[in-house]
A and B are shown apart, each in its own frame.
Chain A
């Protein structure tokens, strides 16, 4: 492994400005940012001409499936997929088997994560076994560095359990995150509710189910003074509700997933389970509203909801197949496209994909206890070297057979996208280059 890297010829994207500069990385740090840097001795030079150099991407929402579902993904394969996608850190979701609801399980995932090229943070479960009944040991997990908690896969159904969880979490400084879909309304649902579901004979998951739980939780946040994160919002109204609450001063944050701003419910018309996801793909109007919200800054983050499934599970009938699709390897390109492609605002791109998610996951300062480095910062001397070299013009075609993920369930197979991470550098190490994990 070359210990020193020089990124040459790129444009450094800082919070508020951007400028042409070379970047030297050594011993895990950014050691020099200057108009022109000579590569000394054994330094590896990475051609960054035409590329953006920004903080490595941070995903708030990745299902790495380990422990328990290793046929679909492992922490290692998920981390490789992340690295190729430009990510330097991901938050591993707790809906594994068993669920990540104890110190031992969290420690296991953190330890496995530490053997990968990237930083793997963990979201702990809010309730024991994600059953929505009894609180999981939130304080103990927080002491281990966990900063986000969620029962994702489902929301916490009981308003009273959620209220207690928020009260318990508030003084700990951690953030609860919710999968918002009122369970009684989505029991057997497999796609967006509406005329298309009615015609296809598929049971619907109404937008209303999401919006009702968002409304409920906003009131719970107001009542408890806790902070909260809304996972994968998919409807125009849900985003509007959270944005309004934030303007009122509530400490609430929101993410959207690429599939919700690139695909609409009509993708389900052929009953291909690749397009089955929860919350479901929504109407065209919702897709347009999400794209507008991304540009307007009404959502904090793009999060992948990377949900690998073993190939055979997507060969089942639509209503029997599991929900979820891959995300890590194409989220950045899809976000770029939604932000306007070549016209995209690079600052907004890194805000949505790195800076804000890093702040929400509290990865800005890193966490020495669990060997997590600092993410989402400036490309500046002295910072931890978590950097992505992103080429906003590179055109590439998604090939499900060439993904780093163990799974193949991408809904974008054969789609040509623009924008790709040329190099991903984590803690000073080159972990992915030109579409290959190293």
Chain B
């Protein structure tokens, strides 16, 4: 972790984005835990309506950055706007305007399908009438009407993840954060899940997604690759493949992540 780093090693910021095009604006983000620098001068913008892939090895600093963007943790320094709100002073506003889902934490196993939808919709501040209306539409779309009163633990993982995603955007957020949403999911469901991501993006929701499946990196509009707390590369998948003379995103990822210092800091 070199303290002299200027953030100039990678094409991380195009500099041409007009601010009103950026739904997430991150400038010089630093997050330290004691002497450990988890996020080391990150600068990037995420454009409205884009699917933004956020990749990196375990411990590269992805989760730290996501927690800050979701208003769950304060940065040590840096200027950040999420959906137009300041991460230092307007965290509650941020939480109302984003959705969040992860593989590890999505739905409550001991609540039913409907109870989960109602719970999240209420947390996101929807009215009772609106909750019933949207819950009905959602269950219909996912063909879950018959499973309405089933406990979440009784439904297959694939359904569960699709439901979790739908619940995360039930309040029409400006941005949805997906932290490894498809881990362990079967290959067909994984693709159906991406169909849903595309659909959400087409409806104007910005998607910020992390994944360990490198083929999924190809489905993103732009991909940011983190190595050791820094942005090692940020570009469209096609340009990344060209820049790094790689055939696939997996090769790009291995090239960048392999170049890092040995694990165990």
A binds B: no
Residues of B within 8 A of A (CB): none
